[in-house]
Amino acid sequence: MTAMDLRAGTAVITGASSGIGLACAEHLARAGLNVVLGARRADLLDAAVSRIRSTGGGAEAIVMDVTREEDVARLVNRAREAFGALDVMICNAGFGYYGGVEETPTEVMRRMMDVNFMGTYYGARVALPMFRAQQHGHLIFVSSIVGQRGIAQMSGYSATKAAQVGFAESLRTEFLGTGIHVSVVYPVSTETGFRDAMTRDYGHAVAGLGPKQSPDDVARAIVACIRRPRPEVYPHRMSKVLAVVNAMAPALADRLVRKYGRRRSGTV
Ligand SMILES: NC(=O)c1ccc[n+]([C@@H]2O[C@H](COP(=O)([O-])OP(=O)(O)OC[C@H]3O[C@@H](n4cnc5c(N)ncnc54)[C@H](OP(=O)(O)O)[C@@H]3O)[C@@H](O)[C@H]2O)c1
């Protein structure tokens, strides 16, 4: 795999109004890429674009919902119109839900699959024709460590994150040896708007007991992966051990994730 020169490239990022997506936009702009941000909250997107432009970066944003393929296509077209290219597509938008299967309303599960997986699927579908035409491009899916190893009370969320992994592995095999790269990112618990969104939309207060990292840590790992593409990114290095333990000793992994998985915290 060859290293990419980030200057003058263009990256599209879904879910870029907060958390990991926003940190990616800021780090990538600092590294010299033009960035095109997509999410639903216009005020947060506008503020991010102003900040990036004020430091000399190239940034655009559109209000969009990743569950609508036409919105994802508009986002990618914005990159083409504004900057004439698309080099990196980061499918990052997502949300979680805490609760057992019987407590998870089917419509919430369907929405979670639509945002977390179908949003990723649409991102690949609209980016790949451009990548094929120019014979290069990098798809990056922000999954989660729970996509490698499911945790208790987040079975639906874990399934959506595992779906991204299976999709990425197939695509990576299809494009092996070409200039098109596909990478999956596996963050551990990260201090973002993720828990606030669960509280806002579903009334959960949830805390993680395991290792934590900042959105900047995740963004730095993603920038490094764009510079030098690799199949998998574990921004918290030790978390890869969990994937290995799960493959070799799944019963031990059951006990570990039960001990360190997320918990409901306080009352909301
Ligand atoms: N935080 C963690 O502990 C953690 C750990 C592992 C993996 N992850 C993954 O990291 C990714 C980013 O999450 P985060 O932690 O940065 O949480 P976050 O701060 O809540 O960010 C989620 C982003 O997704 C956007 N979004 C949600 N639904 C959308 C939709 N239908 N259409 C377009 N954008 C949408 C949100 O923007 P709007 O509300 O403005 O649309 C927001 O910008 C997610 O895929 C999550 O599963 C998070």
- The CATH number of the domain where 201 resides is what? 3.40.50.720
Instruction: Please list the rounded mean pLDDT of every run of 10 residues in the chain (268 residues).
Output: 70 98 98 97 98 97 98 98 96 96 96 98 98 96 97 95 98 97 97 92 82 96 97 95 95 90 63
Domain limits at 168? 10-264
Give the pLDDT of residue 118: 98
Q: For residues 164 and 159, what is the distance between their CA atoms, to the nearest angstrom?
A: 9
| Residue 2 within a domain | no
Maximum distance among all alpha carbons in the chain? 52
pLDDT per residue as tens digits for the range 111-140: 999 999 999 999 999 999 999 999 999 999
| Residue 228 within a domain | yes
Residue 88 phi/psi, 5° resolution?
-135, 130
| Residue 33 within a domain | yes
Atom of ligand 1 nearest to the CA of 44: 40
| Residue 4 within a domain | no
Ligand 1 close to Cβ of residue 39 (< 6 A): yes
**pTM, entire model:** 0.96
Give the pLDDT of residue 268: 42
Atom of ligand 1 nearest to the CA of 45: 40
Give the pLDDT of residue 209: 72
pLDDT per residue as tens digits for the range 200-230: 999 987 877 788 999 999 999 999 999 999 9
Give me the number of domains the chain comprises: 1
| Residue 115 within a domain | yes
Give the pLDDT of residue 4: 66
| Residue 75 within a domain | yes
| Residue 36 within a domain | yes
How close is the Cα of 26 to the center of ligand 1, in Å?
16
| Residue 3 within a domain | no
The β-bridge relationship of strands 137-142 and 262-264 is: unpaired
Ligand 1 close to Cβ of residue 197 (< 6 A): yes
Ligand 1 close to Cβ of residue 17 (< 6 A): yes
**251 CB burial (10 A radius; 0-12, 13-18, 19+):** exposed
Q: Which residues of 147-183 are buried (b: 16+ CB within 10 A; e: fewer)?
A: bbbbbebbbbbbbbbbbbbebbeebbeebeeebbbbb
How close is the Cα of 97 to the center of ligand 1, in Å?
12
DSSP of 252-267: HHHHHHHHHSEEE-S-
SS3 246: helix
Mutate to test the pocket of ligand 1, among 12, 190, 209, 234 (most ligand atoms within 8 A of CB): 190
* H helices present in the chain, as ranges: 19-30, 42-54, 69-83, 106-112, 119-134, 155-174, 194-202, 215-227, 239-248, 250-260
How close is the Cα of 107 to the center of ligand 1, in Å?
19
142 with 120: CB under 8 angstroms?
no
97 is catalytic: no
Ligand 1 close to Cβ of residue 141 (< 6 A): no
